[in-house]
Chains A and B, each alone.
Chain A
Amino acid sequence: MGKTLAEKILTMKSGVGAQAGGLVVVPVDLVFVQDSTGPLTLRQFNELGIQTLKQPKRTVLFIDHSAPSPAKELSNDHIFLRDFSREKGAILSDVGEGVCHQRVAEDWASPGDVIVGSDSHTVTAGAVGAFATGMGSTDIAVAIALGKTWFRVPETIRIIVHGHLHDGVYGKDLILHVIGKIGADGATYKSLEFGGEALDNMGMSDRLTIANMAVEAGAKVGLFPSDEVTRDYLEKQRRPERYMPLIPDPDAHYERTVEIDGELLEPTVSKPHTVDNTALARELKGVHVDQVFLGTCTNGRIQDLRIAAGILKGRKTRPGTRLIVAPASQGVYLDAIRTGYLTTLIEAGATVVPPGCAACLGVHQGVLGDGETCLSTANRNFKGRMGNPNAFVYLASPATAAATAITGEITDPREYL
């Protein structure tokens, strides 16, 4: 019987015929932590009784979640990560270098890789054809120590998107629509495998956005085939030798297939307090927004800043609505300076904060006040997510975010194209 992408990668890596439902032990090509889950991971590592890292040059410690640190306790966590990196030889990605998932995509992830990280959005690297998934601290500690992990081979739900997306509709709208359709637990334990004409023609930035949010439907991985878009991306990222084609077998077994007509998609928004609570942007006109947040591993790439700058050029954010912009990495930050997008955004009224997770998880750089509403390009809108359980978070594309910053209320970006 043919294999899905998940079964193919796990077969290659485990050396046994991986089939949905079976268990495999696989070597990991990259293992990483970030500063909010990393300290516990490293303390668990120290408990294992194994002194050395199995693959120090494939072990990365990212300082991105609270960077630069807003509190002395977090600064001490950062010291712990830096000391560990120095003593054990792991790679350190320090304050200002960017969000782990963006950095992994830029510098490491390649088709057929197995990547594990102590962050749920590790699934992002599925966009380049890597079996990439988030795990807890102890699993990651073991992967650091042994250079391998175990998986139950997931069943696969195939998402096929026909046609093409209209102007003003992006990968973010598509994935919010998918999650709204299948639910926040619609793919629990499973692989989401993406295909169809609309996705074949989609650039890597949008693919990363889609894979990033697979976990918001509960999925273990969100996988794209490795194709010409992947080849171009790896060339641009200066590792063309890591390209290999990777497609599912035509007779692969899917638990189910969800077919979507891309032509019918419209700008989509998740309402508080769950990601699957979706509506169309145009249906939410009149919802006042105090803060717009453009950034994160979901939508903080140069293409996202370009889209927002295109809408905001020559316009101003509405008084009473603040716009916070966080480039996802130092590379994105520099590109946004060179291209002038940051100038455009700042002239429109944006506040730019350093590359990192910024306001996404409610630690710093944009914590919401009581009763405030934020429209964010991030991936999660749970109660309390942005630092205040008495605040409201809506999720949308960078275009919807830019249009919303102009009007001060949730706005369909097609009004500004």
Chain B
Amino acid sequence: MLKGKAFKFGDDISTDHIIPGRLLHLRSNLPELAKHVLEDADATFAKRVKEGDFVVGGNNFGLGSSREHAPLVIKMAGVRAVLAKSFARIFFRNAINIGLPALVCDTDRIDDGDELEVDLSAGTVRDLTNGAELRFSPVPDIMLRILNEGGLVPYIQKHKDLVIN
């Protein structure tokens, strides 16, 4: 069971909002890059976010570049899951591959600052502030297996191959 505070963002949060190209020189220095996470969407986010919190987006979260650094710095900031109404394709797969749950649910019912409780195995999100109970769409089976191994690197280390069935 995960518990933490919601940081609410709008629709179309791009990978440029999360880590813009002007910080390209920090991409091999992830701890430094993580200090700028989501800077162009909310310049105060990196300072306010705490271990265990959640990033909550609207539609098409993570659109744009394939840069895996985007979910990586969100995870490094202490965020335990990203919730959104929908995700861009590459961001979604990247998040799972690095072991960061990306959950699709009706985030209109969550407000900025709400306390959330996420039960990954039951597939539920409870908003403890307003009492809303949400279900998130099941993560596809192969991605769940990757997530359960902690990401694609530990998955391959263990299985030495891609097995989809």
Contact = CB atoms under 8 A, between A and B. Distances in A.
A68 to B, nearest CB: 14
Nearest to B156: A48
Contacts, number: 152
Of all A-B residue pairs in the complex, the 4 with the closest CB atoms, nearest first, are: A136-B94, A136-B68, A361-B21, A362-B21
Interface in A362-415: 362-363, 367, 380, 382-389
Contacts of A384: 16-17, 20-22, 40
Interface in A317-341: none
B125 to A, nearest CB: 21
Q: Of residues A72, A73, A367, which shows the largest number of chain B Cβ atoms within 10 Å of its Cβ?
A: A73
Interface string B9-27: 0001010110011101111
A117 B68 CA distance: 12
B148 to A, nearest CB: 16
A29 to B, nearest CB: 17
A188 B161 contact: no
Nearest to B29: A73
A138 B68 contact: yes
Interface of B: 12, 14, 16-17, 20-22, 24-29, 40, 59-60, 63-69, 72, 86, 88-90, 93-94, 97-98, 140, 142, 151-153, 156-157, 160-162, 164-165
A134 B16 contact: no
A363 B156 CA distance: 34
A65 B66 CA distance: 13
A246 interface: no
A139 B152 contact: yes
A184 to B, nearest CB: 6
Nearest to A187: B89
A150 B145 CA distance: 14
Given A146-B161, A152-B140, A185-B86, A385 B16 contact: yes
B161 A136 contact: no
26 contacts: A23-B164, A24-B164, A25-B164, A40-B28, A40-B68, A40-B72, A48-B156, A65-B24, A74-B25, A118-B66, A118-B68, A119-B66, A120-B64, A134-B66, A136-B67, A136-B93, A138-B97, A138-B153, A184-B63, A188-B60, A218-B63, A220-B89, A274-B12, A363-B24, A383-B17, A385-B20
A314 interface: no
Interface in A92-137: 117-120, 122, 134-137
Q: Of residues B26, B88, B142, which shows the largest number of chain A Cβ atoms within 10 Å of its Cβ?
A: B88
A305 interface: no
B153 A136 contact: no
A383 B89 CA distance: 20
A49 B157 CA distance: 6
Interface in A145-160: 145-146, 148-150, 152
A36 B27 contact: yes
B60 A77 contact: no
A184 B88 CA distance: 9
B64 A380 contact: yes
Given A150-B162, A185-B63, A40 B27 contact: yes
A267 B161 CA distance: 49
A255 interface: no
Contacts of B86: 185, 188
Contacts of A1: none
B28 A39 contact: yes
A189 interface: yes
Contacts of A274: 12
A382 B162 contact: no
A142 interface: yes
Contacts of B40: 383-384, 389
A77 B153 contact: no
Q: Of residues B21, B69, B157, B165, which shows the largest number of chain A Cβ atoms within 10 Å of its Cβ?
A: B21
B152 A145 contact: no
A142 B142 CA distance: 15
Nearest to B92: A189
Interface in A167-222: 184-185, 188-189, 218, 220
Given A37-B66, A40-B27, A134-B66, A142 B152 contact: yes
A59 interface: no
Contacts of A74: 24-25
Contacts of A148: 162
Contacts of A388: 22
A137 B60 contact: no
A39 B140 CA distance: 29
Contacts of B72: 40
A382 B157 contact: no
A37 B90 CA distance: 13
Interface string A292-315: 000000000000000000000000
Given A48-B157, A138-B151, A363-B22, A36 B67 contact: yes
Nearest to A118: B66
Nearest to A383: B40
A134 B92 CA distance: 13
B88 A218 contact: yes
B162 A142 contact: yes
B102 to A, nearest CB: 12
